[in-house]
Chain A
Amino acid sequence: MAAESVRFELVSPEKLLLAVDAEMVVVPGEAGDFGVLPGHSPLISTIRNGVIEVTVNGAVTERIFVAGGFAEVANDKLTVLAEEATPVSKLDRAKVEQALKDAREDFDDAKDDHAKARANAQVEKYTAMLEAAA
């Protein structure tokens, strides 16, 4: 029973961001990008900072930047839980650069390990965002 398409849902804690039927969705998994096609075996994976690509009718229709989260594949359905998601087209290079600069400063100012780890996560996030925006 191979369905024609994968049901892709992108959810953030605040709302359901996107729900589409796609041919293929490429997800930036922790252990490497993976493409989800119809008939994919059940999988739960963590996601690193990166871009999700949704392919409908042979063309990439959506490119969305996500800052970490989880992906679950089951029964031709892909659910991505992300706390932060921004369409790549809406990323503003200048703003991201500024945010990255601020994050780096925070990292240098961080006093304890906890603050340092947090600032580092921010730096990584904005670096990935900048890459995506390029």
Chain B
Amino acid sequence: MPSLKSLRVRINSVKSTQKITKAMKMVAASKLRRAQEAAEAARPYAERMASIMASLSAAQTGSDTAPRLMIGTGKDQVHLLIVATAERGLCGAFNSSIVKLARRKIEELTAAGKTVKILCVGKKGRDQLRRDHASKIADTVDLSKVKKVGFAEAQEIADRVLAMFEAGEFDVAHVFYNNFKSVISQIPTVQQLIPAMVAGDAVNAGPDLKGAIYEFEPDEETILDQLLPRNLSMQVYRALLENAASEQGARMSAMDNATRNAGEMIKKLTTVYNRSRQAQITKELIEIISGAEAV
């Protein structure tokens, strides 16, 4: 039976932990709102870009001169996996679920005899992947000093990926991130970046031209050449934004659970504390009474 004092200390320590987890939950909730707003704000650009992409790729399919970013190098020997995770922990299964998905893909690809290279975005993913795939990590992007992910960061990552692609270091690129569905549900997602995928539904999203066709200035190829790198940055940006929102969502629900658990623990400990206090009083009373009777 623990002493009354140790119980009291324990209850107090759980109480202060609960205060911390509660505060973290509130912080995550407000950050989540901001992250969601950022994700909303990026949507118009992404949509317009997708519709331009769709109009252009319709004109380009089947052509041999299409840029390599769109049709790929014609091989799929070397795969680059961009694994985007968080910089911090204490957000439930957020980081592990991305890493788990990435690991599965790595195993699949290695089993098929392909070469895998990893580009880690975020510290947590790198730490987990370093354990068994250290030799495959080609590069790491550190975002720990960035408070709010902006397009500049995404562009930097995209630039690195492009430089690697142009140097012929890989053939196919995928990005791994958590898609934000709701506060309690984030779905780990893989998306192919290179060769660029044109979403099927985007084809219908283009404006109805009433029979007219687009003029291209200077010409389709030049536009595609410029559009594709930007599209890549945009996809990376979107992944980062989704990730940011998911991270805060995951942290919020993890901290909510922790707060609730702490509450339950306090309740249990308080019951034990009260029982043992009463038991001690009863014991003391019995001692006094039996002492008085003996006189």
Contact = CB atoms under 8 A, between A and B. Distances in A.
A16 interface: yes
A42 B46 CA distance: 20
Contact of A81 (B45, B210, B213): B45
A28 B230 CA distance: 19
Given A15-B41, A72-B52, A75-B209, A46 B218 contact: yes
B218 A44 contact: no
A14 B217 contact: no
B208 interface: yes
B64 interface: no
A42 B218 contact: no
Interface residues of B, number: 37
A58 interface: no
B147 to A, nearest CB: 14
B223 interface: yes
Interface in B28-51: 38, 41-42, 44-46, 48-49, 51
B207 A30 contact: no
Contacts of A11: 44-45, 48
A14 B209 CA distance: 28
Chain B at the A interface: mostly helix, strand, loop or mixed?
A: helix
Given A13-B237, A44-B223, A72-B48, A114 B209 contact: no
A45 interface: yes
Contacts, number: 90
Nearest to A30: B218
A34 B217 CA distance: 11
Contacts of B212: 41-42
A127 interface: no
Contacts of B230: 70, 81, 83
B226 interface: yes
A41 B230 CA distance: 25
Nearest to A118: B159
Given A15-B41, A29-B217, A44 B56 contact: yes
A77 interface: yes
Contacts of A16: 41, 44-45
B42 A79 contact: no
Contacts of B159: 118
B271 interface: no
B210 to A, nearest CB: 8
A31 interface: yes
Contact of B150 (A14, A46, A72): A14
Contact of A14 (B42, B213, B233): B42
B219 to A, nearest CB: 9
A54 B215 CA distance: 22
16 contacts: A14-B41, A14-B150, A15-B41, A29-B217, A42-B213, A44-B55, A45-B223, A46-B218, A70-B227, A72-B52, A74-B207, A74-B209, A75-B207, A75-B209, A81-B230, A83-B230
Interface of B: 38, 41-42, 44-46, 48-49, 51-52, 55-56, 150-151, 154-155, 159, 163, 207-210, 212-218, 222-223, 226-227, 230, 233-234, 237
